[in-house]
């Protein structure tokens, strides 16, 4: 995590990452991409903090695990 702090300056993103690591055990590349997708969707769809959203992810691989 300390290495990431040197690269990421956004305090909101860092706080989100700090919540992910205990849940998954580490920050995988796929989980980070999923987090960025969530943040982009929240911005584009004007999703408010605390508002529940439901995601459908259709794939032949296991990317959907990152939407937990």
pLDDT in tens, 6-54: 578 889 898 999 888 888 888 888 888 888 888 998 999 999 988 988 8
Domain count, the chain: 1
In the chain, where does DSSP find H-type helix?
A: 2-7, 11-24, 29-44
Q: pTM for the whole thing?
A: 0.68
| CA gap 17, 11 in Å, rounded | 10
How confident is residue 2, by pLDDT bands cut at 50, 70 and 90? low
Instruction: Give the domain range for residue 39.
Output: 2-67
Residue 61 has pLDDT above 70, yes or no: no
Residue 40 burial by CB count (10 A; 0-12/13-18/19+): exposed, middle or buried? Answer: exposed
């Amino acid at each position: 995590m300390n290495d990431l702090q040197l690269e990421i300056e956004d305090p909101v993103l860092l706080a989100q990452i700090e919540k992910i690591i205990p849940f998954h055990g580490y920050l995988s590349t796929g989980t980070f991409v999923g987090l960025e997708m969530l943040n982009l969707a929240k911005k584009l769809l004007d999703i408010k903090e605390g508002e529940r959203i439901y995601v459908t992810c259709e794939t032949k691989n296991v990317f959907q695990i990152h939407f937990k």
